[in-house]
Amino acid sequence: MTLDGWHEKYLEILKEFNYDRLSEIKSAKILDSILKNKFDVDILEKKIKNKTVFVIGAGPSLIASISYLKKFKNITKIVADGATQAMLENGMVPDIIVTDLDGNMESLKKASETGSIMIVHAHGDNIRKLPYAISFRYCIGTTEDRPFGKIRNFGGFTDGDRCVFLANHFGASKIIMIGMDFGIHIGKYSKIGIYNKPIKIKKLRKGKSLLEWLASKSNNLYTTSQPISGFKNVKLVDLQRRVRQ
């Protein structure tokens, strides 16, 4: 079931960014037709429910966080799109990747081949990229609109905040964000090619506001990066202690 109150937030997003809802729905229908099988979400739940989960973003602070992440072998890691490349380059395979397919496609394919579960998001601007989902071994389709068929809605807007909404949806006991900065500086792994930086920053701000809204419903949220209202701050050097608590 989609988080209570999400649909109203989605309508706000459509208005704020002038998105065409019909295009959003069309994209979701195309992804639904592409996916061969309905993925068993019980597998996701087993990886997340009642566990400490790291949500790893591609913000500027990610690079300084890598050496700390390497110390945790058995923590479920949910990774936002672009951060996948950084993880693989440092010998770590994400458990779950949340993507709208605008990251490094070779990294996404490699992670999928290694066993990562891919959460592919359909929206009005990525229809032409959706066929890439065919090549993923384990794949779930998502939308911000009404769920149907093989398409689900766990909440969230950007890849990064969708990771947090996903972990919350499946009942993580503790969600710790790493490399999730939501500031004016874009991490080296966050975007490839040419992109509109002001729009990117606007999306990050919206993602941050959605996480603040989520925090009003939850008390198990932490961040090692920039402060976010409702999130407890954790220093990277204290991660081991925080995970054990």
Euclidean distance between CA atoms 209 and 202, whole angstroms? 11
Euclidean distance between CA atoms 26 and 49, whole angstroms? 32
Rounded to two decimals, the pTM is 0.95
pLDDT in the model for residue 23: 97
pLDDT band at 191 (very low <50, low <70, confident <90, very high): low
Mean pLDDT of 132-146: 96
Whether the Cβ atoms of residue 37 and residue 160 lie closer than 8 Å to each other: no
DSSP secondary-structure letter at 189? T
Buried b (16+ CB within 10 A) or exposed e, 193-215: eeeeeeeeeebbebbbbbbebbb
Domains of the chain in start order, with CATH, are 39-120+154-244 (3.40.50)
Residue-wise pLDDT for 207-238, tens only, equals 999 999 999 999 999 999 989 999 999 999 99
Euclidean distance between CA atoms 221 and 230, whole angstroms? 7
Would you say residue 9 has pLDDT above 90? yes
Lowest mean pLDDT, pick from 4-13, 113-122, 189-198, 211-220: 189-198
Mean pLDDT of 109-135: 96
Euclidean distance between CA atoms 61 and 57, whole angstroms? 9
DSSP 118-154: EEEEP-TT-GGGGGGGGG-SSEEEE-SS--BTTEE--
Residue-wise pLDDT for 67-77, tens only, equals 999 999 899 99
Q: Is 40 exposed, middle or buried (0-12, 13-18, 19+ CB in 10 A)?
A: exposed
Closest to 199 in 3D by CA, of 17, 9, 64: 17
pLDDT band at 183 (very low <50, low <70, confident <90, very high): confident
Q: Residue 217: how many CB atoms within 10 A of its CB? A: 12
Q: According to DSSP H, which parts of 35-122 are helical?
A: 41-48, 62-69, 83-89, 105-114
The residue count for the chain: 245
Q: Residue 173: how many CB atoms within 10 A of its CB? A: 12
pLDDT band at 38 (very low <50, low <70, confident <90, very high): confident
